[in-house]
Amino acid sequence: MRFKGNSDQSSARYWDDLAELYQKETRISTDDFHYGPLLPGDSSLRLLPNTGKSFQCLEIGCGAGQNSIFLAKQGAHCIATDISEEQLAHGRKLADAEKVEVDFRRVSMDAMGDLGAFDLIHSTYALPFSANPQKVIADAAAILKPGGTFLLTTGHPLYAGEWLDIGDGEDGLFLPDYFRPAPDVRMSLDDKTMSAAQTWPISTLAEWIHAAGLVVERLLEPAPMPIPDMSEEEIIAKVPYDSADWRALYPQLARIPVVVIFKCRRV
pLDDT tens, position by position, for the chain (267 residues)?
Answer: 344 556 778 888 888 888 999 999 999 999 999 999 999 999 999 999 987 778 999 999 999 999 999 999 999 999 999 999 999 999 999 999 999 999 999 999 999 989 999 999 999 999 999 999 999 999 999 999 999 999 999 999 999 999 999 888 889 999 999 999 988 887 666 766 667 889 999 999 999 999 999 999 999 999 999 999 999 999 999 999 999 999 999 999 999 999 999 999 999
Answer whether 260's CB lies under 8 Å from 220's CB: yes
Report d(CA 194, CA 190) in Å as an integer.
10
What pTM was estimated for this model as a whole?
0.94
- On whether residue 169 sits in a domain, the answer given is yes
Side-chain-facing half-sphere of 17: CA atoms under 13 Å? 16
Q: What is the pLDDT of residue 1?
A: 38
- On whether residue 125 sits in a domain, the answer given is yes
How many Cβ atoms are within 10 Å of 43's Cβ, its own excluded? Answer: 14
- Number of structural domains found in the chain: 1
Q: What is the pLDDT of residue 3?
A: 47
Side-chain-facing half-sphere of 36: CA atoms under 13 Å? 23
Number of helices (H) and strands (E) in the chain: give both, helices first: 9, 13
- On whether residue 1 sits in a domain, the answer given is no
Q: What is the CATH number of the domain that holds 236?
A: 3.40.50.150
- On whether residue 86 sits in a domain, the answer given is yes
- On whether residue 3 sits in a domain, the answer given is no
The partner residues of 197 in beta bridges, in order of sequence, read 184
Residue 186: domain span: 8-41+49-266
CA distances from 151 to 2, 87, 112, 178 (A): 26, 21, 17, 24
- On whether residue 187 sits in a domain, the answer given is yes
